[in-house]
Structure 1
Amino acid sequence: MKTINILETAILSDNWYTLKKITYEVKGSDGVVVQQEREAYDRGNGATILLYNKEHGTVVLTRQFRMPTYINGNETGLLIECCAGLLDEDNAEECIRRETIEETGYEVTNVEKVFEAYMSPGSVTEILYFFVAAYSKEQKVHEGGGLEAEQENIEVLELPFVQAMDMIRTGEIKDGKTIMLLQYAALHHLCG
């Protein structure tokens, strides 16, 4: 027997994305096989990017309403984040270039993948690809804000890097992917 043997997969919801209940057997380090059940939410994989301007010491972030944060105590439901999106049929780099233009209005050229991570592996299948890219005012091709067809209402924020880092401390930035990319920028001196 393999370490994991999936016995049954039941779809609990296939509304927005797919929520599955998986029944499986697992062999422990003691050799004993036990049956367990877990739920896994499959929303596809995604990509995220931090736009930074080293010369001016600024970063571009977004602010938008996130229902899950609202029902978990975020009074306004608004969350400050790095630009991000689901891969759909694209590879990670194509996806993040598309999302960057749609959400921020910037058409960046040199996109660098810095790492990838599972963001909530206890319940969500998604792996997220993390990117950084330098930006300049000349790369702004439109106002951004997302796609109306996707019901996006995204505010574009250009902030001093030092302020963005302080917003982690004050709790104004609580998004995990954004914190990770801002810390990456600090460790690698991307903003001065």
Structure 2
Amino acid sequence: MRSDDQHIRARAAQIVPATQRRVALPGDVAVLTRAERFAGFFAVEEQGLRFRRFDGTLSDPVNREAFVSGDAVTVLPYDPVRDRVLLIEQFRVGPHLRGDANPWQLEAIAGRIDDGETAEATAIREAKEEAGIEINRLVPIAGYYPTPGAVTEFLYSYLALVDLPDSATGTFGLATESEDIRVHLVSFDRLMALCASGEVGNAPTLLSALWLARERPTLRAAAI
């Protein structure tokens, strides 16, 4: 068992609504076999299992593999007075390995939750490491599985209400992790244009931007 598995499983066991989907009951998933096919910073786990079908019967045995990854947070810093956000830019190996013509991504701040750390503490730490900013207030956006068909990763996305003067730019990141991160300050309208054009092309940042579009009038009214 990896050192942070117990904390991940404790977060995963929290009850969330099931008003539209089926209510999961004990015995609805029967694990027949389990094997860890690869274990490094990430892992690949294979299970032979049966699951409860919608007609009430158990499925035939099936094999399923998943990319096992720790929980993580994303943070979109927003200054409601200046009506602008902070985005970070960095090289990403995922787009590179896919063959993307430009593997440098515009993103919200993000990072893995360390063993025993809360999601909120991670958000505050990552904001300091990746953008050099202090968080004044975190507003939860959503908790979600970005790719539930193949990846165990669960994301906690936040909006951070912060002061973003013109000086809040620069290059940041931890040298020990070979990070090279550039900070951009963009207006809300520019953020939405980047999302519409595809220049912002990762799910947590798009989701956070759309949430901000909905909540922006309330956030600005409370700040001004």
TM-score (norm 2): 0.79
- Alpha-carbon distance, 1:191 to partner: 6.0
What amino acid sits opposite 2:92 in the alignment? Answer: R
For the residues of structure 1 that align with 2:58 and 2:30, how far apart are their CA atoms?
13
**CA gap 1:65/1:141 in 2 versus in 1, 3 angstroms:** closer
1:129 partnered with 2:156? yes
CA RMSD of aligned residues (A): 2.0
- Greater RCO (CA < 8 Å, at least 6 residues apart): 1
Question: Residues 45-69 of structure 1, C-alpha deviation per residue, up to 9 Å, x if partnerless?
Answer: 0111110111211100111111111
CA contact (8 A) 1:7 1:24 kept: yes
In structure 2, the residue matched to 1:47 is 73
Question: Residues 87-132 of structure 1, C-alpha deviation per residue, up to 9 Å, x if partnerless?
Answer: 0121100000000000011011211223211111011111111111
In structure 1, the residue matched to 2:209 is 182
The 5-angstrom pairing of residues 150-169 of structure 1 reads 150-169=177-196
5+ residue gaps in structure 2? 1-25
For the residues of structure 2 that align with 1:98 and 1:70, how far apart are their CA atoms?
27
**CA gap 1:163/1:137 in 2 versus in 1, 3 angstroms:** closer
- Alpha-carbon distance, 1:26 to partner: 2.0
SS of 1:33's partner is: coil
SS of 2:147's partner is: coil
1:104 partnered with 2:131? yes
In structure 2, the residue matched to 1:64 is 90
1:75 partnered with 2:101? yes
CA contact (8 A) 1:52 1:191 kept: no
In structure 2, the residue matched to 1:87 is 113
SS of 1:16's partner is: coil
Counterpart pick for 2:143 among 76, 97, 116: 116
SS of 1:11's partner is: strand
For the residues of structure 1 that align with 2:122 and 2:80, how far apart are their CA atoms?
24
**CA gap 1:75/1:61 in 2 versus in 1, 3 angstroms:** same
Deviates more, 1:91-100 or 1:38-47: 38-47
CA contact (8 A) 1:87 1:95 kept: yes
SS of 1:34's partner is: coil
What amino acid sits opposite 1:55 in the alignment? Answer: V
SS of 2:61's partner is: strand
For the residues of structure 2 that align with 1:115 and 1:137, how far apart are their CA atoms?
23
5+ residue gaps in structure 1? none
In structure 1, the residue matched to 2:27 is 2
In structure 1, the residue matched to 2:16 is none
SS of 2:60's partner is: strand
For the residues of structure 2 that align with 1:74 and 1:124, how far apart are their CA atoms?
21
**CA gap 1:93/1:57 in 2 versus in 1, 3 angstroms:** same
For the residues of structure 1 that align with 2:72 and 2:49, how far apart are their CA atoms?
27
What amino acid sits opposite 1:10 in the alignment? Answer: A
Among all aligned residue pairs of Structure 1 and Structure 2, give the percentage whose two residues are the same amino acid: 26
For the residues of structure 2 that align with 1:22 and 1:38, how far apart are their CA atoms?
5
